[in-house]
């Protein structure tokens, strides 16, 4: 049986995804970085079981609980802040100007989604999780995961429609 991955290996493979997931809760880069650091501190103090089939999903499930705890502590402050801050830049600089424009508008459109839909959209679109895995990560029924994703996608489609239709010929 292979050995459990080391902390640096986990960081290299999953830290960016975890950070973006935390960002969907905090809406602030500094808070998301703090959450990421606290998460790895917790991870260092626990034994990582051998034979985990999907390490990304396993880590995201822990990260979800970690983010929910954070949210409970900071709910009042977060509500006050989330409307006053520009959304955290989520995408890498794109070479194609059309892609860059889409990325910019998508970041803004994602920030407008309710947290429940935004986090599910992230897990599905960029972490590549199935609905079953998303349901397990967030502790919600499978149908809820699927419907949250569908609502999120409809809203993104509606927000981005004018730009997307303009860019789509490619």
Partner 1 sequence: MNTNPDAFENDLRALRRRELPPAWRDDVLSAAKTPPAATRTPRWLIAGWSVAWAAILVMYFTTPAESDTRTRSVRQVPVLRLDERAALIDALLASN
Judged by the rule CB under 8 A, the positions of this chain that interact with partner 1 are: 7-8, 11-12, 15-17, 19-20, 33, 36-37, 40-41, 43-45, 89-94, 99, 102-103, 106, 125-126, 130-131, 146, 153, 156-157, 164
Residue among 140 and 153 whose Cβ is closer to partner 1:
153
Residue among 79 and 168 whose Cβ is closer to partner 1:
168
For the bound state, the minimum distance from the C-beta of residue 64 to partner 1, rounded and expressed in Å, comes to 18
Q: Is 65 exposed, middle or buried (0-12, 13-18, 19+ CB in 10 A)?
A: middle
For the bound state, the minimum distance from the C-beta of residue 160 to partner 1, rounded and expressed in Å, comes to 8
Euclidean distance between CA atoms 84 and 93, whole angstroms = 24
Angle between helices 7-26 and 55-82 (to 10 degrees): 30
Using DSSP, state whether 34 is helix, strand or coil: helix
Residue among 40 and 83 whose Cβ is closer to partner 1:
40
Residue among 37 and 75 whose Cβ is closer to partner 1:
37
Euclidean distance between CA atoms 147 and 40, whole angstroms = 31
Angle between helices 29-44 and 7-26 (to 10 degrees): 140
For the bound state, the minimum distance from the C-beta of residue 166 to partner 1, rounded and expressed in Å, comes to 13
Residue among 12 and 69 whose Cβ is closer to partner 1:
12
Euclidean distance between CA atoms 87 and 62, whole angstroms = 24
Greatest pairwise CA separation for the chain in angstroms: 52
For the bound state, the minimum distance from the C-beta of residue 80 to partner 1, rounded and expressed in Å, comes to 26
Q: Contact, 131 vs 121, CB < 8 A?
A: no
For the bound state, the minimum distance from the C-beta of residue 62 to partner 1, rounded and expressed in Å, comes to 14
């Amino acid at each position: 049986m292979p050995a459990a991955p080391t902390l640096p290996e986990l960081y290299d493979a999953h830290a960016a995804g975890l950070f973006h997931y935390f960002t969907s809760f905090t809406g602030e880069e500094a808070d998301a970085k703090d959450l990421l650091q606290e998460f790895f501190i917790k991870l260092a103090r626990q034994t990582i079981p051998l034979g985990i089939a999907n390490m990304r999903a396993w880590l995201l499930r822990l990260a979800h609980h970690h983010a929910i705890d954070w949210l409970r502590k900071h709910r009042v402050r977060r509500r006050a802040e989330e409307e006053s801050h520009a959304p955290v830049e989520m995408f890498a600089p794109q070479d194609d100007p059309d892609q860059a424009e889409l990325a910019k508008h998508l970041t803004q459109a994602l920030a407008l989604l309710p947290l429940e839909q935004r986090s599910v959209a992230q897990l599905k679109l960029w972490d590549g999780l199935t609905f079953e895995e998303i349901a397990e990560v967030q502790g919600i029924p499978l149908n809820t995961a699927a419907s949250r994703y569908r609502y999120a996608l409809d809203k993104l489609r509606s927000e981005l429609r004018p730009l997307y239709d303009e860019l789509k010929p490619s």
